[in-house]
Chain A
């Protein structure tokens, strides 16, 4: 990665930060834990930025794969890694603070419950609500729910897609209502280890 012969435009830290929303979505899907996602996203970005600075990643086309692999490694080593070191505060000028924010960075798990129940309540009828609870709460599969509720695939997809779309809208709306001062704060009280905070 980042071969010596590459002469194209150099990767920048801003390029790395543009990967943060997708990185966080991936990590949250893998860990299903908001705090862990925040911590691992931060650690991944640090690792990738250091790699860019050291010239180990140079080609823009290789960036996503590099971010992806680092994220996978971070998740895979979750059980053996030491606890994150705590420092008093994240440096104001940190690159991490300049990342594009995603709605879920602002939420606690309890708030998500309220939002999810609100989305559930918005669904038009009892059948749609039953489908969502069957899928997300009971963990039933799409074929099981289709059979149980006598739905075809299109009907199933429409209801699930509507719920996901409304959840996205609610998350975005809630985030846009957040005070700007929250941006750039260290997630979940954890921050960069001291030897890495110069970013």
Chain B
């Protein structure tokens, strides 16, 4: 591998290539077993370490104080609810293998409707959180409106389209804020729960994107409003 190939490999693995460059590199990858070995090594680290937690991998590691969900990370792990963490890298990732027809089909299957605020605390002695539910069973064309509490933690229950044998990545995009990302295994109804600190959510428009690997699967818009101002905030 020459220095240029090494440079491109690093950029590819770090998600720093644009679409065209990444596809060109992937063509090279097909032809080069020596490069494939290093891509495999990166995937192996990602898969292998993805099955563990920071605590079990490095007990002495300091907590990630900058992550909005860090305050309830322990609670999220105990409930097998993925904590949402910021991922600025995701914003630069190229769109790949995007199929508009597939995405449209998934959007129809989701049948997104208006979200509602349940105001139900999460039980247990971990932390109290508010459940915000993005309802997919109501109006198919409406943009879900999620009423948020003034503080504390929020458990966002969101529809997550899946592709067979893929653990989807869910990305929450908000204007003026870092993107947040989580891996999620949806339940039998196609929903996944995400724990996030209320302070990390901004009132206004947001977008939820679902990806399988680097391939976008679906996306939908939601609106965060204040439960106090809107008069919502209790279960319907």
Contacts and interface: CB of A to CB of B under 8 A. Distances in A.
Given A31-B213, A161-B10, A140 B60 contact: no
Given A75-B215, A126-B58, A168-B38, A64 B31 contact: yes
Contacts, number: 211
B52 to A, nearest CB: 6
Q: Which of B14, B41, B106 has the most CB of A within 10 A?
A: B41
A115 interface: yes
A64 B30 contact: yes
Contact of B43 (A19, A25, A120): A25
A127 B214 CA distance: 29
Interface bracket on B: 35 or more
A129 interface: yes
A141 B87 contact: yes
B165 interface: yes
B89 interface: yes
Contacts of B164: 36, 78-79, 81
Contacts of A157: 10
B88 to A, nearest CB: 5
Interface stretch (B61-69, B117-125, B186-194, B196-204): B61-69
B67 A138 contact: yes
Interface string B47-63: 11111111001101110
A163 B42 CA distance: 8
Given A68-B27, A76-B102, A133-B54, 5 more contacts: A25-B39, A126-B58, A141-B89, A168-B37, A168-B41
19 contacts: A24-B36, A28-B43, A30-B214, A30-B215, A31-B212, A64-B27, A75-B97, A78-B163, A109-B47, A112-B51, A129-B58, A130-B62, A132-B45, A133-B61, A138-B54, A139-B181, A160-B14, A161-B10, A168-B38
